[in-house]
């Protein structure tokens, strides 16, 4: 979607409030009070709904009932650059969609409007903004929310920490402008330091790709609270690929690929935004802890570790440097326990924190102390390394002046550790900004290929397949076994939509002595068998591709076998992110667990997986998977394959 110029919307020089002004609590009246209380300096018009507009304005705010909204829109269409529609009761309830034809761009309907502190533009009726008319801003943070009421509460919750957002847009029912398009416009028009998102679902995966790529190119961190994540993302019965490449896994992989932060609650959204806006990204994920309480240090270490950070033991040299400032009973390992008698000494605290930051052994620092120790600890927005002071006996409102002054003080350990974790770079390889590769194929195969046809398709796609042959009689099975070499695997040549192993159609370790009886039993259930050489794999892997209605082709791979879903050693992501990024994720998340042993497998497994991506794209298949892929003599060989309509 074309990204609109949001300058006139966020920084309007003229606004018209139409409707809802005759009553004190009308939507128009509340909006006018917000503009007046905020000291909005632009021109404000209040025309009658029946009159339309006699001059051009940047923004028209419509507080009229739903039944009158289209008529009023028609009267102002082309006169207002943007129209914000507060009313609801259109497409979302089965009604008629609102339209404009002369150039006016519609925000909403069913939106609470927007807030842009630098221009004192409170274009909203929401009562949550009654306490925000000072328009403090200055944080560089901007929130785009698909829920207006929820988003407004996030803005006020952030303010209780002294974290004042520069802007907020409630997207409403998105008749013309969806959340991702608006967020891309915010990146261009408002140049935020951090972009916050609340999405109730992903309505356009390609536009989300584009938004995350835009933010990465502009080096603007993105923090997203995403509702509607589901573990039910499957496309074929009994599919390993669908089981391990769930909606949640794929969504997380997409955000991680662009270095964006996906959070699980409104509190995390606020805290992550606070940290990134005040301190930006750290260089790594190594955290240092300074405390006067051993117990608090242990809890902080647990919180940081649970957030994916690393709390390293400091080198003996650094420990000696720290002990030069500390009493003999102190512990310099990390957490650095300076003891209760020393934590109140600001001069000593400053020396300890400076030594840690300059050591090169940590990337982030949390200091458990008093709220007045931000300067001594170096917990300021000017510090060269993200540093947070955690107090143990304060409420958010009591530390607000510290944060407003650029001193990063949080009222409890959990808040402080979450803020610090948000400032760490992603633990996963990030992607160079790319344009999304939208998969639009929707042609399906005429019918599910059989197991043997699946093997042929996979081999033609470039994946090495274990030697095999078809057999229709017991005698042919014995002959194929002699040709391939015993032992062999016998499989029923059924449609790929049938899971052969679960249906009892697979026999392993078939020898010359057992071949006839085993073949006779399997042939009773179907006319044809696959006879395959039984290879001894040193490791079993898995690769698969599924077609998702939201993401297009989704690729997944990892450790395989009969219980791949239970192993939890897989990587799943939209295939549009590319083979190289997939290989990097496999290398970092799977094979780096045993350094130097599996160095070549990440590239080989990525090659096999993206051969399946190509096959799925060429055929329009809903599912293509190889499980297992065996590592045989250092190479990757498909021991089974399925291509499903």
Per residue in 434-491, pLDDT (tens digit) is: 433 333 223 233 457 888 999 999 999 999 999 999 999 999 999 999 999 999 999 9
Lowest mean pLDDT: which of 65-74, 127-136, 359-368, 519-528?
519-528
pLDDT at 533: 94
Question: Alpha-carbon distance 455 to 159, whole Å?
Answer: 60
Residue 96 has pLDDT above 90, yes or no: no
Helix axes 205-218, 247-257, angle to 10 degrees: 30
Q: Convert the pLDDT of each residue in 288-309 to its tens digit.
A: 999 999 999 999 999 999 999 9
Query: What value does the mean pLDDT take over residues 230-236?
Result: 41
What pTM, to 2 d.p., does this model score?
Answer: 0.85
Q: Higher-confidence residue: 384 or 277? A: 277
| pLDDT value of position 598 | 79
DSSP 178-246: -HHHHHHHHHHHH--SEEEEEESS-S-HHHHHHHHHHHHHHT--EEEEE----S----STT-HHHHHS-
Which pLDDT value is given to residue 247?
73
Cis before residue 109, ω within 30 degrees of 0? yes
DSSP state of 76: H
The pLDDT score that the predictor gives to residue 427 is: 77
* Residues 423, 410: Cα–Cα separation, whole Å: 15
Share of the chain above pLDDT 70, in %: 91
Token readout for 183 is 């967020």
What is d(CA 183, CA 579) in angstroms, rounded to the nearest whole number? 28
d(CA 316, CA 314): 7
pLDDT digits (tens, 9 = 90+) for 161-196: 999 999 999 999 999 999 999 999 999 999 999 999
**Assigned token pair, 432:** 């160079």
The beta-strand segments (E) located in 346-462 are: 364-368, 387-390, 409-410
Least confident of 221-230, 318-327, 349-358: 221-230
CB 322 within 8 A of CB 356: yes
Domains and CATH numbers, the chain: 282-422 (3.40.50.261), 468-530 (3.30.1490.20), 539-644 (3.30.470.20)
What is the pLDDT confidence band of residue 496, given thresholds at 50, 70 and 90? low
**Is residue 619 within a helix (H) or strand (E), and if so which, with residue range?**
helix 601-619
597 token code pair: 């042993």
pLDDT of residue 232: 40
The 10s digit of each residue's pLDDT in 534-543 is 999 989 999 9
For the cut 80, the answer to whether the pLDDT of residue 565 exceeds it is no
Residue 628 phi/psi, 5° resolution? -90, 160
The lowest-confidence range among 10-14, 114-118, 314-318, 522-526 is 522-526
Render pLDDT for 366-402 as a digit per residue (tens, 0 to 9): 999 998 999 999 999 888 899 999 998 776 667 778 8
Q: Answer for the pair 378, 400: CB distance below 8 angstroms, yes or no.
A: no
Residue 121 has φ and ψ, to the nearest 5°, of: -95, 90
Averaged confidence pLDDT in the chain: 89
If pLDDT is split at 50, 70 and 90, which confidence band does 589 have? confident
Report pLDDT for 183.
97
Q: What is the pLDDT of residue 592?
A: 84
Q: What pLDDT does 238 receive? A: 44
Confidence of residue 637 (pLDDT cuts 50, 70, 90): very high
d(CA 618, CA 612): 10
Three-class DSSP category at 617: helix
User: Which residue would you say has higher pLDDT here, 231 or 626?
Assistant: 626
Closest CA relative to residue 529, chosen from 594, 603, 450, 415: 450
Judge whether 467 and 484 are in contact, CB under 8 Å: yes
State the alpha helices, DSSP H only, in 485-600. 515-523, 564-567, 579-589
């Amino acid at each position: 979607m074309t990204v609109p110029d949001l300058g006139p919307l966020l920084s309007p020089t003229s606004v018209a409030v139409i409707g809802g002004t005759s009553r004190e609590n009308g939507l128009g009246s509340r909006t006018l009070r917000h503009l007046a209380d905020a000291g909005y300096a632009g021109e404000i018009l209040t025309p009658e709904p029946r009159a339309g507009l006699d001059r051009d304005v940047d923004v028209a705010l419509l507080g009229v009932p739903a039944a009158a909204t289209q008529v009023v829109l028609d009267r102002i269409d082309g006169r207002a650059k943007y129209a914000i529609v507060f009313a609801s009761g259109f497409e979302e309830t089965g009604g008629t969609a609102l339209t404009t034809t002369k150039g006016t761009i519609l925000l909403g309907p069913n939106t609470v409007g927007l807030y842009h502190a630098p221009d004192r533009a409170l274009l909203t009726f929401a009562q949550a903004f009654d306490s925000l008319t000072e328009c403090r801003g200055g944080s560089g943070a901007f929130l785009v929310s698909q829920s207006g009421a929820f988003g407004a509460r996030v803005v006020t919750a952030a303010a209780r920490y002294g974290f004042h957002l520069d802007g907020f847009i409630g997207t409403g029912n998105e008749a013309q402008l969806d959340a991702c398009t608006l967020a891309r416009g915010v990146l261009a028009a408002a140049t935020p330091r951090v972009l916050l998102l609340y999405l109730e679902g992903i309505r356009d995966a390609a536009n989300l790709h584009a938004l995350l790529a835009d933010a990465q190119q502009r080096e603007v961190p993105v923090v997203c609270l995403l509702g509607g994540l589901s573990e039910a993302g499957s496309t074929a019965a009994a599919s390993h690929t669908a089981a391990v490449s769930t909606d949640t896994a794929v969504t997380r992989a997409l955000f991680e690929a662009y270095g964006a932060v996906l959070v699980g609650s409104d509190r995390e959204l606020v805290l992550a935004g606070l940290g990134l806006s005040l301190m930006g990204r750290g260089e790594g994920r190594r955290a240092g802890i300074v405390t006067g309480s051993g117990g608090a240090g242990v809890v902080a270490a647990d919180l940081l570790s649970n957030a994916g950070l690393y709390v390293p033991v400091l080198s003996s040299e650094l420990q000696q440097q720290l002990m030069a400032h500390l009493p003999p009973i102190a512990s310099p390992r990390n957490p650095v326990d300076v003891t209760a008698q020393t934590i109140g000494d600001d001069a000593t605290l400053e020396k300890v924190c400076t030594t840690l930051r300059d050591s090169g052994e940590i990337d982030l620092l949390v200091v458990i102390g008093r709220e007045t120790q931000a300067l001594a600890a170096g917990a300021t927005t000017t510090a060269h390394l993200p540093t947070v002071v955690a107090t143990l006996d304060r409420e958010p409102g009591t530390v607000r002046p510290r944060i407003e002054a650029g001193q990063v003080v949080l009222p409890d350990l959990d808040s402080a550790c979450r803020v610090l974790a948000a400032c760490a770079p992603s633990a996963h390889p990030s992607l160079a900004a790319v344009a999304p590769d939208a998969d639009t194929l929707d042609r399906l195969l005429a019918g599910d290929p059989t197991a043997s046809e699946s093997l042929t398709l996979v081999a033609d796609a470039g994946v090495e397949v274990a030697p095999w042959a078809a057999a229709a009689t017991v005698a042919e099975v014995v002959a194929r076994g002699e040709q391939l070499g015993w032992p062999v695997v016998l499989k029923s040549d059924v449609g790929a939509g049938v899971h052969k192993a679960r249906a009892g159609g697979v026999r392993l370790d078939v020898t010359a002595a057992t071949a006839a009886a085993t073949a006779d039993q399997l042939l009773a259930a179907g006319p044809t068998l696959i006879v395959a050489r039984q290879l001894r794999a040193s490791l079993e892997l898995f690769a698969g591709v599924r077609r998702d209605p939201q993401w297009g082709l989704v690729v997944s791979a990892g450790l395989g076998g009969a219980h791949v879903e239970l192993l939890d050693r897989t990587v799943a992501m939209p295939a549009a992110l590319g083979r190289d990024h997939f290989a990097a994720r496999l290398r970092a998340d799977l094979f780096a667990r045993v350094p130097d042993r599996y160095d070549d497998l990440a590239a080989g497994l990525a090659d096999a997986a993206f051969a399946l991506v190509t096959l799925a794209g060429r055929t329009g298949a809903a599912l293509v998977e190889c499980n297992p892929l065996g590592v045989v003599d250092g190479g990757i060989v498909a021991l089974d394959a399925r291509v499903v309509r």
